[in-house]
């Protein structure tokens, strides 16, 4: 049988080919067929995940919660020393120096990335801001969020920190970071679904030594991942409990 | 920092729910909540700390060794009314999420305000403990809570 792999659409576009290399590498290692399907937005991907189309998912922490608690997936590895952090940035020329300088009516530019949006809204709470007293607009990418800050159409923008750091120097020089989250225990993970569960030991064994394999090392580089670290069920549950406290 | 802070030091005796008492110095000085961080701890079902993250250690002023195995009431500030914590325990023991504003006592006697969320940790249908995650509260919520807790304390 052929299994299906998908990847959370929040990685930088430069790493798309890396995921194709990864898929080819993994199929050889496991000697099974795997089809990779990529999405450019979270909503379409989530409805396909709910329709039980996938067996292997590189998921953002928010989706990991649904996959583990509702669909019987199991997290097997996470990218080493990579956590999902959120940045709130403003136009460099704006008068805002701290989050608390933002006030009611503030125009917020965001994306459909659920983790980043949730964390961004949490970091606005200290300014007494929430969805009822801000004008939130969702854009298709972080580049578009940045453009809205630069041309003055938004007062504050939410970014995945990794994505912010990958914006061009020119764009970044025209913005200023108000706050950057430092949570460290919320991160992406690779999850395996019930149909593919018999392959978990082989998947974990292959991935945990991937950086020692010459081809594997190159694939990791193209995905911008140093190496994989194991994840057990308690680590996964801990992360999900934490995310639960952040969602109303 | 709260505008009313006096920096005054006083020695008080705190009596906990389980009858334990402790003498401690209280300093009227607020330590500001660190931007962008979450303060995370976990407890067993009785409220004894089993895990604390670095932000928890930094803000409470205790070492990890001092925290693990200690009752979470070590952070209880005498300005917090007992009824607030009764509400917390009643909520989480029913298996539901609790949100609230808490004034916490540091080891050095100073204080810090948090917006806390506590949830039960369920594994295979069984309660194995609780997780608390705190974030930075707004100034207006702190002021509202100060006023509310003063009223509640007066009634206790
Ligand atoms: C997960 C969890 C986290 C808690 N965090 C705090 C805290 O940060 N500060 C605090 O004063 N009490 C906290 N409590 C409540 C304490 O267990 C305790 O009820 C409270 O300090 C009042 O003490 P008392 O019940 O002995 O009067 C927490 C309880 C749980 C289950």
Please indicate, yes or no, whether residues A51 and A97 belong to a single structural domain of this protein: no
Predicted confidence at residue A81, as pLDDT, reads: 84
Interface membership of A151 toward B (CB under 8 Å): no
Q: Whose C-alpha lies nearest to ligand 1, atom 24?
A: B17
Q: Is residue B26 part of a domain?
A: no
- The token duo for A236 is 């996964």
Radius of gyration of chain A measured on its C-alpha atoms: 19
Cα of B85 from ligand 1 centre, angstroms: 7
Which of A126, A179, A181 would best serve as a mutation to test chain B binding (most B beta carbons within 10 A)?
A: A126
Per-residue pLDDT tens digits for B30-69: 999 999 999 999 999 999 999 999 999 999 999 999 999 9
CATH number reported for the structural domain that contains residue A97 in this entry: 3.40.190.10
Please indicate, yes or no, whether residues A131 and A152 belong to a single structural domain of this protein: yes
Domain span holding position A166: 86-180
Q: Is residue B44 part of a domain?
A: yes
Asked if residues A179 and A70 have their Cβ atoms less than 8 Å apart, the reply is no
List of chain B residues whose C-beta atoms are within 8 Å of the C-beta of residue A240: none
Interface membership of B127 toward A (CB under 8 Å): no
pLDDT tens digits in sequence order for chain A, 248 residues long: 899 999 998 766 668 899 999 999 999 999 999 999 999 888 899 999 999 999 999 999 989 999 999 999 999 999 998 889 999 999 999 999 999 999 999 999 999 998 999 999 999 999 999 999 999 999 989 999 999 999 999 999 999 998 999 899 999 999 999 999 999 889 999 999 999 999 999 999 999 999 999 999 999 999 989 999 999 999 999 999 999 999 87
- The token duo for A121 is 């809204």
Interchain pair B141, A128: CB under 8 A: yes
Please indicate, yes or no, whether residues A191 and A148 belong to a single structural domain of this protein: no
Number of structural domains in chain A: 2
Closest ligand 1 atom number to CA of residue B102: 9
Q: What residues form DSSP beta bridges with A191?
A: A57, A75
Interface membership of B115 toward A (CB under 8 Å): yes
Rounded to an integer, what distance in angstroms lies between the CA atom of residue B132 and that of residue B52? 10
Interchain pair A127, B138: CB under 8 A: yes
Q: Which residue ranges have their beta carbon within 6 Å of ligand 1?
A: B 16-18, 41, 43, 47, 72-73, 75-76, 82, 85, 88, 102, 104, 118, 130, 132
Which of A184, A245, A247, A248 would best serve as a mutation to test chain B binding (most B beta carbons within 10 A)?
A: A245
Q: Is residue B148 part of a domain?
A: yes
Cα of B143 from ligand 1 centre, angstroms: 21
Please indicate, yes or no, whether residues A67 and A137 belong to a single structural domain of this protein: no
Please indicate, yes or no, whether residues A164 and A189 belong to a single structural domain of this protein: no
Q: Whose C-alpha lies nearest to ligand 1, atom 3?
A: B132
Please indicate, yes or no, whether residues A218 and A241 belong to a single structural domain of this protein: yes
List of chain B residues whose C-beta atoms are within 8 Å of the C-beta of residue A244: 97, 119
Residue B10 has pLDDT above 90, yes or no: no
Predicted confidence at residue A83, as pLDDT, reads: 87
Q: Whose C-alpha lies nearest to ligand 1, atom 2?
A: B132
Q: What is the largest CA-CA distance in chain A?
A: 58
Q: What residues form DSSP beta bridges with A89?
A: A157, A177
Predicted confidence at residue B23, as pLDDT, reads: 83
Please indicate, yes or no, whether residues A90 and A176 belong to a single structural domain of this protein: yes
The mean pLDDT value of chain B amounts to 93
Residue carrying structure tokens 């937005």: A41
CATH number reported for the structural domain that contains residue B133 in this entry: 3.30.450.20
Please indicate, yes or no, whether residues A232 and A167 belong to a single structural domain of this protein: no
Please indicate, yes or no, whether residues A235 and A158 belong to a single structural domain of this protein: no
Q: What residues form DSSP beta bridges with A108?
A: A136, A156
Interchain pair A125, B137: CB under 8 A: yes
| b/e map B78-111, b = 16+ CB within 10 Å | bbbbeebbeebeebbeeeeebebbbbbbbeebbb
Residue carrying structure tokens 């206790």: B156
Backbone angles phi, psi at A178, to 5 degrees: -85, -40
Residue B2 has pLDDT above 70, yes or no: no
Q: What residues form DSSP beta bridges with A75?
A: A191
**At which of A180, A204, A239 does a domain end?**
A180
Number of structural domains in chain B: 1
Asked if residues B45 and B27 have their Cβ atoms less than 8 Å apart, the reply is no
Cα of B120 from ligand 1 centre, angstroms: 14
Q: What is the ipTM of this complex?
A: 0.90
Please indicate, yes or no, whether residues A78 and A124 belong to a single structural domain of this protein: no
Please indicate, yes or no, whether residues A171 and A189 belong to a single structural domain of this protein: no
Secondary structure tally for chain A: helices H, strands E: 10, 11
Interface membership of A177 toward B (CB under 8 Å): no
pTM: 0.91
**At which of A180, A202, A226 does a domain end?**
A180
Please indicate, yes or no, whether residues A230 and A166 belong to a single structural domain of this protein: no
Domain span holding position B69: 37-155
Asked if residues A21 and A222 have their Cβ atoms less than 8 Å apart, the reply is yes
Residue B1 has pLDDT above 60, yes or no: no
Rounded to an integer, what distance in angstroms lies between the CA atom of residue B136 and that of residue B150? 21
- The token duo for B81 is 């009314």
């Amino acid at each position: 049988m052929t299994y299906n792999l998908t990847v959370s659409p929040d990685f930088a576009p430069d790493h798309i080919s890396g995921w194709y290399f990864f898929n080819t590498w993994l199929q050889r290692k496991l000697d099974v067929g795997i089809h990779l399907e990529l999405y450019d937005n979270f909503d379409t991907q989530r409805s396909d995940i709910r329709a039980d189309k996938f067996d292997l998912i590189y998921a953002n922490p928010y989706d990991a919660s649904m996959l583990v608690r509702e669909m019987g997936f199991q997290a097997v590895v996470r990218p080493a020393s990579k956590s999902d952090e959120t940045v709130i940035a403003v136009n460099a020329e704006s008068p805002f120096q701290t989050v608390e300088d933002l006030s009611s009516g503030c125009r917020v530019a965001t994306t459909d990335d659920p983790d980043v949006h949730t964390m961004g809204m949490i970091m606005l709470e200290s300014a007494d801001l929430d969805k009822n007293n801000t004008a939130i607009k969702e854009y298709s990418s972080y580049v578009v969020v940045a453009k809205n800050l630069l041309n003055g159409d938004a007062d504050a923008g939410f970014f995945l920190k990794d994505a912010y750091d990958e914006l061009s120097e020119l764009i970044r020089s025209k913005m200023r970071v108000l706050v950057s989250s430092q949570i460290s225990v919320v991160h992406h993970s690779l999850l395996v679904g019930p149909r593919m569960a018999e392959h978990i030991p082989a998947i974990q064994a292959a991935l945990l030594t991937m950086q020692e394999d010459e081809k594997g090392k190159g694939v990791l580089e193209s995905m911008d991942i140093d190496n994989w670290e194991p994840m057990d069920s308690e680590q996964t549950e801990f992360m999900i409990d934490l995310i639960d406290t952040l969602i109303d | 920092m709260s505008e009313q802070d006096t920096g005054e030091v006083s020695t008080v005796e705190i009596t906990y729910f389980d009858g334990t008492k402790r003498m401690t110095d209280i300093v009227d000085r607020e330590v500001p909540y660190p931007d962008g961080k979450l303060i995370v701890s976990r407890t067993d079902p009785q409220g004894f700390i089993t895990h604390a993250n670095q932000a928890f250690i930094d803000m409470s002023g205790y070492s990890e060794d001092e925290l693990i195995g200690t009752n979470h009431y070590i952070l209880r500030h005498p300005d917090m009314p007992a009824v607030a914590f009764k509400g917390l325990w009643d909520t989480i023991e029913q298996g539901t999420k609790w949100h609230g504003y808490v004034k916490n006592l540091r080891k050095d006697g100073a204080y810090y305000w948090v917006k806390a969320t506590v949830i039960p940790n369920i594994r295979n249908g069984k309660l194995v403990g609780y997780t608390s995650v705190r974030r930075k509260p707004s100034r207006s919520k702190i002021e509202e809570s100060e006023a509310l807790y003063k009223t509640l304390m007066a009634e206790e």
